[in-house]
Structure 1
Amino acid sequence: MAETLDEEKMPLLDHLIELRKRLLLSAAGLIVIFVICFFFAEQLYNFLAQPLADLLLQRGDDRLARMIFTDLTEVFFTYVKVSFFTAAFLTCPLFLTQLWLFIAPGLYKNEKMALGPFLVASPLLFFTGAALVYYVILPFAWEFFLQFETSGGDGTVPIELEAKVGEYLSLTMKLLFAFGLCFQLPVLMTLLARVGLATSEGMAAKRKYAIVGVFIVAAIFTPPDPLSQLSLAIPIVLLYEVSIILARMVERKKAQREQEIEDEL
């Protein structure tokens, strides 16, 4: 009886040891990259602030292109945050690789071929969404918000931007992560179709509801100007159509495998 229990416990213990090793390796990689990024935290923050700086410098007054902080520790912790976010993004391939190495031995060959592309597509889609925010959305968004500045005069008080270091980073990272997560739609819908929780016909039939939902999400996560909302809504709608196509491909392959099994029997 004791030998039987030991034989049953050992595989689970081995799996836990393997999982701990993978997690420790991933955490060690994150810490190393974080330390390296912290030495370049100022440059990384300047990169994120460049869209706003360009707009302020276009006004011809260098004094406007500045940010303030009202807490002695604000800049330090802002640099810590931007270093951590950058390190997490750079070590994402390491985390996915360690995840793959942990689960791959327990998968069949067809399951490996099915899951592998998703591990590659997910960070690429996230990077695409973040790049869309940085190069397209942020310039339009900051320009929209800067329109609310007033020069004052005639008994009125001027309203001028004094951007805070920490608040700017929080808003920018929210937009980056929101767009990056929205661009995971094809991965999510294709996985749901693979496990049978969604079908291409169902997604196509609910297309109009999905489009309405997309524009609602775009209105929440983007500034209230139409161009920024369309910049998020249109790519997500296109990704939804791509999800339908991928779901049909998954269903077609699944039907072919089932037919081959029936033919063998």
Structure 2
Amino acid sequence: MPLDQISDEKEMSFLDHLEELRWHIIRSMIAIVTFAIVAFAAKSFIIDTVILGPSRVDFWSYQKLCELAEVLKTPAICVDDLPFKIQVRTVSGQFMTHIVVSFIAGLILGFPYLFWEIWRFIKPGLRPQERRASRGATFSVSVLFTLGILFGYFVISPISVRFFATYEISSMLQNEWDLSSYINTVTMVVLGCGLLFQLPVIVYFLTKAGIVSSSLMKAYRKHAIIVILILGAIITPPDPFSQILIAMPLMMLYQLGIVIAKRIEKREARQNKER
């Protein structure tokens, strides 16, 4: 019986909790492995279209940048050449890459279900008021994670690939990237953005726990903006458009966190007055 179907009056031992957690983990792994098998079978789409997409100039993001370059009369932002080659330098390189990429795809596709299983384990330990306040947590986390993945794949990833492809310390050197290095860069950027977009959810729970407040976030807003701009300058090419493109969503997420914290504080203040 799932933990969330057990009556609150029934106490579970520590070993019972471990057993219940084990089954949540097993079900999550089955879902991830299932998605990974599907991704493994769809090799052509996952590898050629998705993973290697940012390595080609006909990638959707590059085409839109070139269209925008025509409108803004700024040809510098148009990507018409990516001077690098991707090579495999080990005997089992392509096979192992196929397995790793399939598992990563399974993890991304199965993340909403993974969080749902974790939430099912945590939820029975919450008070009724906390359950009501956290209603829709799985949906919010899944939507933000998906938006982060899309932002990382269609914005950050191609910008990073372009930057490293065009950066040179000597004209005598050529970019011949190892396949595993390229995939690590793309997947880390994409997964990092997916987790970074969880900032509003993290702020929500930290505010509920009394660790973070809207006034604290407002006080450090200027510091956060500076950090975001520095981060944008590091991971993007040296042009203002790319830096703003990266910084704006991060600033919006931080501002959204302030709004969420303020709403929680008002709600709790109103509830305290009614008591």
Contact preservation (8 Å) 2:157, 2:190? no
1:137 to 2:156 alignment: yes
| 2:252 is aligned with 1:238 | yes
Deviation at 1:221, TM superposition (A): 4.1
The one-letter amino acid paired with 1:138 is S
In the alignment, what sits opposite 2:115?
96
**Counterpart amino acid of residue 104 in structure 2:** F
Residue 78 of structure 1 corresponds to which residue in structure 2? 97
State the TM-score, normalizing by the size of structure 2: 0.78
Q: Which residue in the other structure is 2:207 paired with? A: 193
Q: How many residues align?
A: 247
CA-CA distance at 1:112 after TM superposition? 1.4
Return the alpha-carbon distance in structure 2 between the equivalents of residues 142 and 218 of structure 1: 14
Provide closer, same or farther for how the CA distance between residues 66 and 144 of structure 1 changes in structure 2, counting only shifts above 3 A. closer
Contact preservation (8 Å) 1:41, 1:80:
no
The answer on whether the counterparts of 2:36 and 2:106 sit within 8 Å (CA) in structure 1 is yes
Letter in 2 for 1:117: G
Report if aligned partners of 1:125, 1:180 keep a CA contact under 8 Å in 2.
yes
**Aligned counterpart, 2:69:** none
- Of 88, 101, 105, the residue aligned with 1:69 is 88
| Alpha-carbon contact 2:160-2:235 (below 8 Å) kept | no
Moved more, 218-227 or 40-49: 218-227
Q: 1:169 aligns with which of 144, 158, 183?
A: 183
- Tell me the CA shift for residue 172 of structure 1: 0.5
| AA of the residue aligned to 2:87 | I
Distance 2:11 2:270 in 1: 39
Deviation at 1:71, TM superposition (A): 0.8
The equivalent residue for 2:269 is: 255
- What does residue 75 of structure 2 align with? none
The TM-score normalised by the length of structure 1 is: 0.81
Contact 2:159 2:236 in 1 (8 A): no
Determine if contact 1:53/1:65 at 8 Å carries over to the other structure: no
| Percentage of pairs with the same residue | 30
Q: Partner of 1:49 in structure 2?
A: 52
Q: Secondary structure of the equivalent of 1:67?
A: strand
- For the pair shown, the structure with the greater C-alpha radius of gyration is 1
Q: Report what 1:5 is aligned to.
A: none
Distance across 2 between alignment mates of 1:220 and 1:149: 16
The Cα of 1:203 is off from its aligned counterpart by 1.0
Letter of the 1:76 partner, please give it.
F
Q: Which residue number corresponds to residue 111 of structure 1?
A: 130
- 2:141 aligns to what? 122
Helix, strand or coil: the match of 1:91?
helix
Note closer, same or farther for the CA distance 1:126–1:9 as it changes in structure 2 (3 Å cut): closer
Alpha-carbon distance between aligned partners in 2 of 1:149 and 1:193, rounded to the nearest angstrom? 45
What amino acid sits opposite 2:109 in the alignment? L
